Amino acid sequence: MISDELLAHVRATKGFMPEEEGLLLNRTALEQLVHGPALEVGTYAGKSAILLGAAAQEVGGTIFTVDHHRGSEENQAGWEHHDTELVDPELGLMDTLPFFRRAIARAGLEDQVVAVIGKSTTVSALWRTPLSLLFIDGGHSEVHAHNDYAGWAPWLINGGCLVIHDVFPEPADGGQAPYHVFRRAVDGGDFAEVETVGSMRVLRRSLGQAGDPVT
């Protein structure tokens, strides 16, 4: 279980993760990390990375977290989830990397959490390491969400967990792309539903081998 101290770091970090949903992510990582590293798509300021890193500190293991750190569409100026504090004043672009680095250093998780800075598709195309857990919480447009699934899910080991955030079956509750990816995973037959808390869905890979394309 995550310590009160690390939970305080989670709470102090900017992000989009209701606590109950974050605790499910932490619990899932505790179970999975003994089987191999975990990877997160969508680092932002490190809130969910601390929840994953806390599990890695407890049971051993490594978390990779991929982000170009320039923000998703909804984080850009003029959009709903824009935060002016996160803009690089010289470039006029979002830059969440310094916030992430401070959050991970303060939490004492620099040995557990490894930042990979770049576009999800660029990194996934060259990735070669089987994963025990994949957490998809990156771009929420259809194209980005499906690219994340297509690029990363093949690296999940048999028995590995696919965790998808912001899954809203009802269009009135939120964007549909993560839900469509969830449907694709379940309807494709490779993944079975394990647990749901709020918009957080945990699935388990039940067929195929790491490295096989998931269609």
Active site residues: 140
DSSP H or E stretch at residue 100? helix 97-107
Task: Work out what residue 57 binds among Mg ion, ligand SAH, none; the CB cut-off runs from 5 to 8 Å by kind.
Answer: none
Q: Which of 44, 99, 182, 191 binds ligand SAH (CB under 6 A)?
A: 44
User: Which region among 51-59, 79-87, 143-151, 160-168 touches Mg ion (by CB under 5 A)?
Assistant: 160-168
Give the CB-side neighbour count of residue 12, counting CA atoms within 13 A.
13
Helix, strand, coil proportions of the chain in percent (round to 5)?
40, 20, 35
Amino acid of residue 160: G
C-alpha distances in Å from residue 3, one per residue of 8, 26, 54, 86, 211:
9, 11, 8, 28, 35
Q: Would you count residue 168 as binding ligand SAH (CB under 6 A)?
A: no
Q: Would you count residue 21 as binding ligand SAH (CB under 6 A)?
A: no
Q: Would you count residue 47 as binding ligand SAH (CB under 6 A)?
A: yes
User: Which region among 83-91, 133-141, 172-180, 195-203 touches ligand SAH (by CB under 6 A)?
Assistant: 133-141
Q: Would you count residue 16 as binding Mg ion (CB under 5 A)?
A: yes
129 contact partners, CB below 8 Å, separation of at least 6: 36, 37, 155
70 or 101, CB closer to ligand SAH?
Answer: 70
71 contact partners, CB below 8 Å, separation of at least 6: 86, 94, 96
157 or 163, CB closer to Mg ion?
Answer: 163
Q: In 37-77, which ranges are E strands?
A: 38-41, 63-67
CB of 186 to ligand SAH, least distance (A): 22
Q: Which of 120, 124, 132, 199 binds ligand SAH (CB under 6 A)?
A: 120
Q: Would you count residue 68 as binding ligand SAH (CB under 6 A)?
A: yes
User: Which region among 24-32, 54-62, 130-138, 155-163 touches Mg ion (by CB under 5 A)?
Assistant: 130-138
Q: Which of 28, 96, 132, 176 binds ligand SAH (CB under 6 A)?
A: 96
Q: In the chain, which ranges are E strands?
A: 38-41, 63-67, 87-88, 93-94, 113-117, 131-136, 156-164, 191-197, 200-205
Q: Would you count residue 168 as binding Mg ion (CB under 5 A)?
A: no
Q: Where do contacts with Mg ion occur on this chain (CB under 5 A)?
A: 16, 137, 165-166
